[in-house]
Structure formats: structure tokens, C-alpha cells
Amino acid sequence: MVAKKKVSKTVKAKAKTTTKAVKKTVPKVKAKITKPIKAKTKVVPKKAVKPVAKTATKSGANVKSNDWVAVHYTGKFTDGKVFDSSKGRDPLVFQVGAGMVIQGFDDAVKKIKVGSETEIKIKAKEAYGERSNKEATIPKSAFQDESIMKVGKEAEIMTNMGPMLLKVTKIEKDTVKAILNHPLAGKDLVFNIKLERILDAKEVKALEKAQACDCGCDCGCEDDGCNCH
């Protein structure tokens, strides 16, 4: 569910050749191109949240802004083709109204009760935005895979915003001009959503502690003091 944040600082990216030209508005970015993406694109979360221990929530409870919720979902194109699903995985955990998922998905969850399911259609504007031809400026030094630096070349990259499609438009002395868009920009989407539960205070506290730790675990460490790895 999710990609509308501005790109900030270094964008760590993985590249994969693609034939589709998809476009989205982004500001200037720094990018690091690494090895090819192999995993299926996961498109809903804007930021990953580790799964939490399951606790019971009263069926029929209403969701409020700032609640942390756990949902299962299936995302489809308007022709019925599935592009992503939480089936077989832990439920998606996010904070309602915090911009962690795409707007249309967030709005839909606010309208359903715990234990309920719904199907919604989200217009591109409230999903991954419309396609754009706006160029981003990327330093050449960020490209570890120089084969990407060719005018007209298209590649799928993984960034701190999630998957993006990059199309090189111009190569200058020290920088590369490119168009960046989410792979689903310009597309209307359909989601089946089931609200599993609302997290309790203990779960939320554990999540906040984990998020404060940049290593991605729940040790509560600071950046440079992590001995987890």
C-alpha cells in the first residue's frame, strides 16, 4: 500500500531491466544501484513493520486515527489479476492515519470493523499517483552497475520509498538525469481487506521500541551501538 514520500538523502537501489515505462514525480535524489531484484514486488507498505504477537481484539471494534492495526489484504488490477497479497505471510501492521500506507488503503481501513472484510477500488491518484515525466538528478558515483547509465535504458530499482522504475534521459559530466515512478503509478487498483485486530498498548510499545532501533530488531539500541549483527 504505499509510495508518496519525497526521496531523501541516499537512495539505496537494486536494478532490474524492464520494458515498461512508468512515471512519477520525484525531487532530486541520490541513488545507489546494486544487484538485480529477484523478489516479487511488495507494494502496499511504505515502511516495513515487524510482525507482533497476536492478541485478541473484540470483534466489531471501530478503528480510530493513530490506532495500530493488523490487516490481511489482496491487491488486484481492475482486470482481476493479483499483484500482491499477504496470504501466507504475517498480516500487514501499520498506524492508521500516519501515512505509512497509500491514502486509499488507509481511508478504507478507517471504515471497517475488526473481523470485517471489504473490497475497495482505489483511483491512481489515491494509490501511487499519476505517471509523470519529471526528471531526477542522480550522481554517477551512485551507480555501481554502469550498464544502467545509457540514455533510454529502463530499470527497476529498490529505494527507501520501495520499488521504483528508472528511465535514463540524459547523461552529463557528473550526473545522470532520469525519470522515476512507482511501478503502479497511473493505475487504478482493487483491494480486498480484512481487519484482523487493533494492537493493544503493550504491542504498540514494543513496535515503537523496535522502530527506534535502526538495525531493524527490537534490541532498542542506537545506530552505532548495535551488536545484533
Tell me the CATH number at 145.
3.10.50.40
Nearest to 57 by CA among 117, 118, 116, 114: 114
How many CB atoms lie under 10 A from the CB of residue 165? 24
- Report the C-alpha dihedral over residues 84, 189, 10, 218, rounded to 10 degrees: -50
1 pLDDT higher than 50: no
Nearest to 201 by CA among 46, 90, 52, 47: 52
Range of the domain at 193: 10-202
Q: Are 83 and 166 in contact (CB under 8 A)?
A: no
- Mean pLDDT confidence for 87-107: 94
| pLDDT band of 48, cuts 50, 70, 90 | very low
- Is 1 among the domain residues? no
Question: If 0-12 CB within 10 Å is exposed, 13-18 middle and 19+ buried, where does residue 177 land?
Answer: middle
- Is 159 among the domain residues? yes
| pLDDT band of 127, cuts 50, 70, 90 | very high
- Is 219 among the domain residues? no
- Is 208 among the domain residues? no
- Is 4 among the domain residues? no
| pLDDT band of 9, cuts 50, 70, 90 | very low
22 pLDDT higher than 50: no
Indicate the number of domains in the chain. 1
Tell me which of 66-75, 95-104, 130-139, 152-161 is least confident: 152-161
Q: Which residue has the higher pLDDT, 190 or 37?
A: 190
Q: Are 41 and 164 in contact (CB under 8 A)?
A: no
What pLDDT is attached to residue 61? 79
Question: Residue 2: helix, strand or coil by DSSP?
Answer: coil
What pLDDT is attached to residue 126? 93
- Is 220 among the domain residues? no
**Alpha-carbon gap, residue 177 to 167, rounded angstroms:** 9
How many CB atoms lie under 10 A from the CB of residue 172? 9
- Is 127 among the domain residues? yes
Q: Are 101 and 1 in contact (CB under 8 A)?
A: yes
- Output the nine-digit C-alpha cell for 96: 492508521
